[in-house]
C-alpha cells in the first residue's frame, strides 16, 4: 500500500475467527474529540453502516473485487460532540456470491483521522461481537440476482451503540493484504423518508401501503404493538393481484422484523428496496403502523430537457426518473428484482445520462469496474462485479460500444489507454473464433455461455438453437465492436488492423445472410429462415447493407410486420439504423414510435419505464416496471430536437 494511504496502519478485523456467510458483525470504540476535522476512511466485505453517538452517519460499501478493493472517505465531523464519542459500525458479510458481489473474506478496515492524527482505527482493541438483533446465517435469498434478504429482531436490541456493551470481546485480525484505492465515484445520499399511505386492510389483516410512485431506498418502520411479534414486510411495483405479489417462482420479496411490545423504530441501512407498494402482515393486530422508504440517491445535476410537447415531456421525465432510480454503487438494470450491472443495459443508461446529467465520472467508474472482471475464458461476466459462471457473449461486444461512446462524450483518452489491454484481450476471444474476419463466428458452445441477443423467439438464446450454425446478430455486433475498437485505437494513436478485419467480416456476413429476393438479411442459414428487425438493423449499422439496399431495408424495418419485431430495449438499434440512413425521412417515425411504445407506461403512473412492452406480466409475472435500459427516449429527444 502507498505511504499516502490513510489506512496503512489499520488492520483488517472481524468479530470471530470462523465467519460464515450471511453474518453481521458489530464493532465499537470510543474517541475523544475537541474540534476540527474528523474524517473516516473505511472499507468492508461486504457492506457497512456507521453510527456516531447513535446516529447513522455513513453507509454503503462500493461493489468491488477482493483484488481491487475500494475504501470510502467520509467527513463525519458534524456528527461529533465535544468530549467522548461512541463509534459503532455494523458490517454485513454476504459470503454467498450474487450478481453484484464477488466473494471475499469477512472483514472491516477503518481509520478515523482528526486534525492532530489518528482518533481511532481497526485493530484488536476494537470491541466486537456477532449481532444479536440481525438473524445470522439465514441465507435466504430474495432473488438469485440480488442475493440475500434479512430478518431483524428488535427485542434483542441493547444500548451498544452508546457504550452499553454485552457479549463483546477483542476483535480478530484477518490476515490479508488487499490492494486499496479510493472510491471512484460519489457516495449515495440518504434522503428524507417517503411515507406510504395506508390504502386498505386486506381480508387476512395485512396492511397495504402506497408510496405514490416507484421508489428505491431503505425500509423504515415505526410501529406500536400490544405484544412482541414477527412482521413480514413485502414489497413490489404493482398490485395487479389486489395485493403485493410477494412470491414469484423461487423469488421472495419480503423481510421479517420482530417488533417489541410498545413502540419499535427500525431503519435497515443495507438492503435497498425498489417498489411502489409495501404490505405488512402481523401475527396480531397492530395499534399503529407507519412504513416508509428512505431514498438512496446518487448526487446528480439534471440538465434542462430539450423543447418538447407536453406528452413527450411526460415520457422524457419518466425516463430520467428511471435513470436516477437505477444508479447506485453502479448502474442497475432494475432496482426491484436484480440490481445488477450489465454491459448492454449500462450502455443505454450511459448514453442517456450524458444528455440528462452531463457528467462522465459515474460512467467511467462503471466501465472501470467491468474492465476489472477476470473470467477464465476471457469474456466479460454476465454482471460485474461477480463470479457468476454465466456470460452473455454479445454483451461483451456491447462493452466496446459504451467505451467508444464514453470516449466521444468525455474525451478521456487516458482512461481508454488504461483499459486498452482489457479491450484487446476481450476482442481476441472473438477474433480467434472467426479467423480474424475470414470466417463467420458461431455461437459459443458451452453451457456457461448464454447466446442472448434480445427477448424475442430465436434471439433469446434458447436451448433449441443450433450452436454450430453462425448467426447474423453476433457477427454484426462483432463488426461493430471492431469498428469501435478502431476508433478507440485511432484516438490513442495505436497502430491496428481492426477496420480491415471488420471489412472482411462484413463481406462474409453479406455473402452468407443477405437474401436478394427479400432484400433482407436472415438470422441464420437454416431451412426455416427468420428475418428479425434486430438483425437487419445491426446489418445496416455495421455497414453490411448500404446505399439503396439500406433504404429498402429501413422501409421494411419501419413498416414490414413480417419481421420478428424489436423489443423495447433494442428499439435503439432500429432507430439508429433509420436515422443513419435517412435522418429527415425517418425522424417523424421514430418520434411516433416512441409515443406509441411509452404512452402506456406514462398512464400507469409509476413514474418509470418498463423492461419490456408486456410490463409486469412478462417473464411469468416477473417483468420489471423500472428498467434502465428502456430509458432511451432521453437520447432521441435530444438528438431529434
Average pLDDT over residues 112-118: 95
pLDDT 10s digits, 358-412? 999 999 999 999 999 999 999 999 999 999 999 999 999 999 999 999 999 999 9
Q: What is the pLDDT of residue 2?
A: 41
- Give percent above pLDDT 90 in the chain: 98
What 608-612 contacts at long range (C-beta under 8 Å, 24+ apart), as own/partner pairs, is 608/213, 608/214, 608/318, 608/321, 608/322, 608/325, 609/318, 609/319, 609/322, 609/568, 610/568, 611/333, 611/334, 611/568, 611/569, 612/455, 612/567, 612/568, 612/569
pLDDT 10s digits, 461-484? 988 888 999 999 999 999 999 999
Q: What is the pLDDT of residue 1?
A: 38
Distance in angstroms (rounded) separating the CA atoms of residues 301 and 322:
15
Phi and psi at 33, nearest 5°, equal -130, 135
Go through the chain and tell me how many residues it has: 641
Q: Is the pLDDT of residue 544 over 70?
A: yes
Interior angle at CA 633, CA 635 and CA 607, nearest 5: 125
Mapping DSSP onto H, E and C, the string for 68-81 reads EEEEEEEECHHHCC
Burial of 596 (0-12, 13-18, 19+ CB in 10 A): exposed
Distance in angstroms (rounded) separating the CA atoms of residues 328 and 334:
11
Q: Is the pLDDT of residue 3 over 80?
A: no
Residue 118: count of CB within 10 angstroms of its CB = 13
Q: Are 43 and 180 in contact (CB under 8 A)?
A: yes
pLDDT 10s digits, 121-153? 999 999 999 999 999 999 999 999 999 999 999
Average pLDDT over residues 614-621: 96
Instruction: Give CA separation, 302 vs 46, 87, 167, 359, in Å.
Output: 31, 36, 48, 10
DSSP structural state of residue 129: E
Instruction: Give CA separation, 476 vs 342, 437, 441, 482, 543, in Å.
Output: 20, 11, 10, 10, 9
Burial of 160 (0-12, 13-18, 19+ CB in 10 A): buried
Q: What is the pLDDT of residue 457?
A: 93
Residue 509 three-state SS: helix
> Strand 151-153 relative to strand 254-259: parallel, antiparallel, unpaired?
parallel
Q: What is the pLDDT of residue 464?
A: 81
> Across the chain, what does the average pLDDT equal?
97
- Give percent above pLDDT 70 in the chain: 100
pLDDT 10s digits, 24-65? 999 999 999 999 999 999 999 999 999 999 999 999 999 999
Q: Is the pLDDT of residue 5 over 90?
A: no
Phi and psi at 439, nearest 5°, equal -150, 160
Q: What is the pLDDT of residue 553?
A: 98
Average pLDDT over residues 162-184: 97
Residue 178: which pLDDT band, with cuts at 50, 70 and 90? very high
- Provide CB contacts within 8 A for 526, sequence distance 6+: 466, 469
Average pLDDT over residues 102-106: 96
pLDDT 10s digits, 268-320? 999 999 999 999 999 999 999 999 999 999 999 999 999 999 999 999 999 99
Element of type H or E holding 49: strand 47-52
Give the end-to-end CA distance of the chain in Å, rounded to a whole number: 50
Instruction: Please give the grid coordinates belonging to residue 291.
Output: 412504513
* DSSP result, 135-165: -TT---EEETTTEE--EEEGGG--SGGGT--
Q: Are 486 and 498 in contact (CB under 8 A)?
A: yes
Q: Are 590 and 284 in contact (CB under 8 A)?
A: no
pLDDT 10s digits, 489-514? 999 999 999 999 999 999 999 999 99
Q: What is the pLDDT of residue 212?
A: 97
Burial of 117 (0-12, 13-18, 19+ CB in 10 A): exposed
Amino acid at each position: 500500500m502507498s505511504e499516502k494511504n490513510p489506512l496503512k496502519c489499520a488492520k483488517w478485523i472481524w468479530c470471530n475467527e470462523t465467519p460464515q456467510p450471511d453474518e453481521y458483525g458489530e464493532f465499537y470504540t470510543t474517541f475523544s474529540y475537541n474540534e476540527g476535522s474528523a474524517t473516516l476512511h473505511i472499507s468492508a466485505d461486504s457492506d457497512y453502516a456507521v453510527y456516531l453517538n447513535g446516529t447513522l452517519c455513513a453507509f454503503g460499501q462500493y461493489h468491488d473485487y477482493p483484488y481491487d478493493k475500494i475504501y470510502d472517505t467520509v467527513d463525519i465531523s458534524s456528527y461529533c460532540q465535544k468530549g467522548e464519542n461512541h463509534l459503532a459500525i455494523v458490517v454485513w458479510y454476504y459470503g454467498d456470491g450474487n450478481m453484484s458481489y464477488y466473494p471475499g473474506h469477512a472483514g472491516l478496515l477503518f481509520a478515523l483521522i482528526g486534525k492532530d492524527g489518528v482518533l481511532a482505527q481497526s485493530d484488536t482493541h476494537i470491541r466486537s461481537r456477532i449481532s444479536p438483533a440481525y438473524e445470522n446465517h439465514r441465507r435466504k435469498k430474495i432473488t438469485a440476482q440480488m442475493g440475500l434478504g434479512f430478518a431483524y429482531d428488535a427485542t434483542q436490541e441493547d444500548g451498544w451503540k452508546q457504550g452499553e456493551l454485552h457479549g463483546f470481546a477483542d476483535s480478530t485480525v484477518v490476515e490479508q493484504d488487499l490492494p486499496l484505492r479510493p472510491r471512484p465515484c460519489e457516495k449515495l445520499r440518504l434522503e428524507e423518508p417517503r411515507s406510504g399511505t395506508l390504502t386498505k386492510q386486506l381480508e387476512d389483516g395485512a396492511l397495504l401501503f402506497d408510496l405514490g410512485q416507484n421508489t428505491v431506498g431503505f425500509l423504515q418502520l415505526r410501529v406500536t404493538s400490544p405484544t412482541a411479534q414477527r412482521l413480514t414486510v413485502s414489497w413490489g411495483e404493482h398490485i395487479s393481484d389486489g395485493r403485493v405479489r410477494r412470491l414469484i417462482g423461487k423469488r421472495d420479496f419480503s423481510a421479517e422484523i420482530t417488533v417489541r411490545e410498545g413502540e419499535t423504530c427500525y431503519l435497515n441501512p443495507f438492503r435497498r428496496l425498489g417498489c411502489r407498494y409495501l404490505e405488512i402482515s402481523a401475527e396480531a393486530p397492530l395499534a399503529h403502523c407507519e412504513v416508509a422508504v428512505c431514498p438512496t440517491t446518487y448526487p446528480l445535476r439534471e440538465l434542462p430537457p430539450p423543447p418538447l410537447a407536453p406528452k413527450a415531456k411526460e415520457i422524457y421525465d419518466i425516463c430520467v426518473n428511471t435513470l436516477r432510480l437505477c444508479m447506485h454503487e453502479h448502474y442497475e438494470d432494475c432496482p426491484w428484482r436484480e440490481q445488477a450491472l450489465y454491459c448492454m443495459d449500462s450502455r443505454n443508461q450511459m448514453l442517456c445520462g450524458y444528455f440528462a446529467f452531463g457528467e462522465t465520472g459515474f460512467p467511467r467508474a462503471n466501465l472501470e469496474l467491468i474492465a476489472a472482471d477476470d473470467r477464465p475464458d476471457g469474456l466479460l461476466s454476465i454482471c460485474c462485479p461477480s463470479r457468476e459462471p454465466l456470460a452473455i457473449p454479445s454483451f461483451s461486444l456491447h462493452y466496446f460500444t459504451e467505451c467508444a461512446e464514453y470516449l466521444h462524450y468525455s474525451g478521456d483518452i487516458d482512461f481508454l489507454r488504461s483499459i486498452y489491454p482489457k479491450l484487446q484481450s476481450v476482442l481476441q476471444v472473438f477474433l480467434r473464433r472467426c479467423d480474424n474476419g475470414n470466417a463467420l463466428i458461431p455461437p459459443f458452445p458451452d453451457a456457461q455461455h448464454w447466446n442472448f441477443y434480445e427477448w424475442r423467439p430465436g434471439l433469446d438464446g434458447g436451448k433449441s438453437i443450433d450452436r454450430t450454425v453462425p448467426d447474423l446478430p453476433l457477427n454484426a455486433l462483432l463488426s461493430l465492436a471492431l469498428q469501435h475498437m478502431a476508433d478507440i485505437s485511432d484516438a490513442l494513436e495505436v497502430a491496428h488492423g481492426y477496420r480491415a478485419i471488420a471489412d472482411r467480416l462484413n463481406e462474409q456476413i453479406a455473402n452468407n445472410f443477405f437474401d436478394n429476393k427479400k432484400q433482407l438479411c436472415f438470422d441464420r442459414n437454416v431451412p426455416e429462415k427468420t428475418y428479425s428487425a434486430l438483425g437487419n438493423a445491426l446489418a445496416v449499422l455495421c455497414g453490411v447493407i448500404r446505399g439503396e439496399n439500406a433504404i429498402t431495408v429501413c422501409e421494411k424495418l419501419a413498416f414490414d410486420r413480417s419481421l420478428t419485431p424489436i423489443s423495447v430495449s433494442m428499439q435503439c438499434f432500429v432507430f439508429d439504423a433509420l436515422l443513419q440512413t435517412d435522418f429527415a425521412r425517418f425522424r417523424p417515425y421514430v418520434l411516433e414510435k416512441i409515443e406509441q411504445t411509452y404512452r402506456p407506461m406514462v398512464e400507469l403512473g409509476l413514474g418509470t419505464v418498463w423492461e419490456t412492452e408486456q410490463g409486469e406480466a412478462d417473464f411469468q409475472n416477473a417483468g420489471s416496471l423500472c428498467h434502465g435500459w428502456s430509458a432511451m427516449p432521453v437520447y432521441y429527444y435530444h438528438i431529434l430536437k
